[in-house]
């Protein structure tokens, strides 16, 4: 696994570290159960702050791609498994959208809309539960 960053990039270093790990998951280079290098080692190799790497790992955890375990470090989560499979479908969708003249921003907006519509609604409090809250 090779984590890459460009210090001259306008993108934050932690975003670049996270994007590099994400790309390795999408390509299948990283699979569930694989351990990521220690943040200290990545920071030393890239000559960046260790907290920058930890921030990237935390972001990946928040996305559900990485499990952070004390004493075990960062491990690719089981929930990352479908990403490599979806990657091929996403590539096809992007190519099709580009052929139709749909911008990346528009396509991203469409995906967000469809994702929001696919999420189950949060349950509303029943009248009985609401009356207990007032007590």
Domain segments of the chain: what residues? 13-81, 82-118
Q: What is the mean pLDDT of residues 122-132?
A: 55
Within a 10 A sphere around the Cβ of 91, how many other Cβ atoms?
A: 11
Instruction: Report the half-sphere exposure of 128 (CA within 13 A, side-chain side).
Output: 0
Predicted TM-score (pTM) of this structure: 0.70
Q: Is the pLDDT of residue 125 over 70?
A: no
Q: Is the pLDDT of residue 135 over 50?
A: no
| pLDDT, greater one: 132 or 93 | 93
Within a 10 A sphere around the Cβ of 56, how many other Cβ atoms?
A: 29
Q: Which of 5, 59, 69 is nearest to 38 (CA)?
A: 69
Q: What is the mean pLDDT of residues 15-30?
A: 94
* Fold of the domain spanning 13-81: Arc Repressor Mutant, subunit A (1.10.10)
pLDDT tens digits for range 54-104: 999 999 999 999 999 888 889 999 999 888 778 888 889 999 999 999 999
Helices (H), 5-103: 13-27, 39-46, 50-62, 81-99
């Amino acid at each position: 696994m090779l984590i890459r960053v460009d210090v001259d990039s306008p993108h934050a270093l932690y975003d670049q570290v996270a994007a590099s790990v994400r790309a390795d998951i999408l390509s299948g280079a990283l699979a569930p159960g694989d351990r990521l290098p220690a943040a200290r080692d990545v920071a030393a190799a890239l000559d960046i702050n260790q907290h920058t790497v930890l921030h990237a790992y935390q972001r990946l955890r928040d996305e559900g791609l990485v499990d952070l375990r004390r004493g075990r470090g960062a491990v690719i989560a089981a929930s990352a498994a479908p990403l490599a499979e979806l990657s091929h479908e996403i590539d096809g969708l992007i190519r099709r959208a580009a052929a139709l003249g749909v911008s990346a921003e528009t396509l991203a907006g469409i995906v967000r809309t469809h994702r929001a519509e696919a999420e189950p609604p949060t349950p509303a409090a029943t009248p009985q539960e609401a009356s207990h809250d007032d007590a």
